[in-house]
Structure formats: C-alpha cells, structure tokens
Amino acid sequence: MPVAIITGASKGLGRALAEALSARGWDLVLDARTEGVLKETAAVVAGHGHDVEALAGDVTDPAHRAALVAAAWRLGGCDLVVNNASALGAEPLVRLEELPLEGLRRALEVNVVAALGLVQEALPLLRGARAGAVIAVSSDAAAEAYGTWGGYGASKAALDQLAAVLGEEEPALRVWAVDPGDMATDLYAAAVPDDGDPRPEPDSVVPGFLRLLDERPASGRYAAPALLEGRL
C-alpha cells in the first residue's frame, strides 16, 4: 500500500484528503497540534480499514517532523508528503501596516520553513518510492494582491517557489503546488470572520488532488478549478 504523510489533517482540507486517500487504500501518517481532534479524525479515517498513525505536534518542531517520517518508514516508506498545515500570521487578517512581524515570522515558519524541513526529512524515502510526490497546498493569495492577505500570501508565494525549484532538482519525483480555492473551513473563518458568503466544502476539491495522483502530470503549480475540470 502507498503511504502518505498529511500535515494539518485533523479537519478541513487535510481531513478530506485523508478520508479520500484511505478509502483508496493508502496508509497514512496524520498530524495536527490538537490531539483530541486529531485522534477523533484518525478513528474515522481508520474506518476504511487501512493503517492510520496520528501524531499530535507542531510542524515547526524538527523532532515532530522526524517522528512523522519515522512513522511512515514503519508503515513501509513514504510515497507522498502533503504540506497542508498553515498559519495566517494574523487572525483576523490585517493590512500590512498593522501586520505583527511575529505573525509574519510564524507564517513563514509554518508555511515555508517547516514544509521544507519535512520534505528534507522525507526525501530519502520519497526517492525510494515507486512514484514519489510532494503536494504543497498553496493559495490564490500567493499570486494575486488581495488587501490584508499580504503576509500569508507572501509565505505561500515562497512555498510555491520552493516547490518549483524542488521539482527541477528532483526530476524523478512529482512536486505539485496546488491552489485549492476558497473553502468553508476554520482557517477561512479565522482569516475573515465577517465574510459569511457560502464557500465550497473541502471535500469538493479533493477529486482534483486525486487526479494529480492518478495522472501524474509534470511538476508545477495547479489550481483547483482546472484540476476539477480535467484541464491539466
């Protein structure tokens, strides 16, 4: 069975991806900071009958990242790393003139530094996999200039660039940065609490991610609408 590490897998998009991969027979290593929520999610995901290791911790902790990769190794290897856990830098989001620099540092640490750290830790296993892949969950805010999304967007732009260069440096792997589009999740609500407009559920974008795994297009940046419509 292929093995995936998914960060930020207790809720939102990470949980939706975990459920879909488990239903397809993947063994999983799941991470999030809040242990109770993570364990509840892991119990549901394990209902599909495949192995699920749930390790609570913060992706910025190198020892935690090493533990995630060690758990994958015990399951047989690592075919996929999904860097999905994310920090906004300020909740709610604020204009750059007010953005606490500590918040920006935190967004960079979670969204960029920890993401690369996990990939570095997992690379030996990814290179040994039959079809190794890395997914960096990005955002529209990485490419467009939306007021108040500057710190978070800058961190996602940096993540995109790391993914692009990793794809060049590791031609045997696939490295996809994916903009999932707006979704109705706690992260979005924390970013813009006054925005009550309806948004798609995270489940609705999962088929786009599965298409990447099925069709293995070239490393690069992809957005959910194109993936969902089969425009690869």
Ligand X SMILES: NC(=O)c1ccc[n+]([C@@H]2O[C@H](COP(=O)([O-])OP(=O)(O)OC[C@H]3O[C@@H](n4cnc5c(N)ncnc54)[C@H](OP(=O)(O)O)[C@@H]3O)[C@@H](O)[C@H]2O)c1
In the complex, the residues that contact ligand X under the rule CB under 6 A are 7-14, 31-34, 37, 58-60, 84-87, 110, 137, 139, 180, 182-183, 185-188, 202
Residue least distant from ligand X (Cβ): 12
In whole angstroms, what is the distance from residue 143 CA to residue 203 CA?
Answer: 23
Active-site residue, from 146, 152, 188, 222: 152
How is residue 76 annotated by DSSP? T
Cβ proximity to ligand X, 148 vs 185, nearer residue = 185
* Minimum CB distance to ligand X, residue 128 (Å): 25
Is residue 152 flagged as an active site residue? yes
Q: Angle formed by the axes of helices 12-23 and 35-46, to 10°?
A: 20
Minimum distance, C-beta of residue 172 to ligand X, in the bound complex (Å): 25
**Alpha carbons 1 and 54: distance in angstroms, whole number:** 18
Task: Report, in Å, the least distance between residue 50 CB and ligand X.
Answer: 20
Strand order in the sheet with 174-179: 52-56, 27-32, 3-6, 80-83, 133-137, 174-179, 220-223
Nearer to ligand X, 130 or 197 (CB): 197
The CB-of-45 to ligand X minimum distance in angstroms stands at 12
Nearer Cβ to ligand X, position 112 or 213? 112
The nearest distance, CB 126 to ligand X, in angstroms, is: 20
DSSP line for 50-91: S-EEEEE--TT-HHHHHHHHHHHHHHT--SEEEE-----SSS
SS3 231: coil
Determine the Cα–Cα distance for residues 44 and 228; give it in Å rounded to an integer. Answer: 26
Q: Are 127 and 174 contacting, i.e. CB atoms less than 8 angstroms apart?
A: no
Cβ-based burial of 203 (10 A; exposed 0-12, middle 13-18, buried ≥19): middle
Separation of alpha carbons 136 and 138, rounded Å: 6
Nearer to ligand X, 130 or 147 (CB): 147
HSE value, Cβ hemisphere, 13 Å, CA-based, for 221: 17
Q: Which is nearer to ligand X, 26 or 209 (CB)?
A: 209
Point out the residues that are catalytic: 152
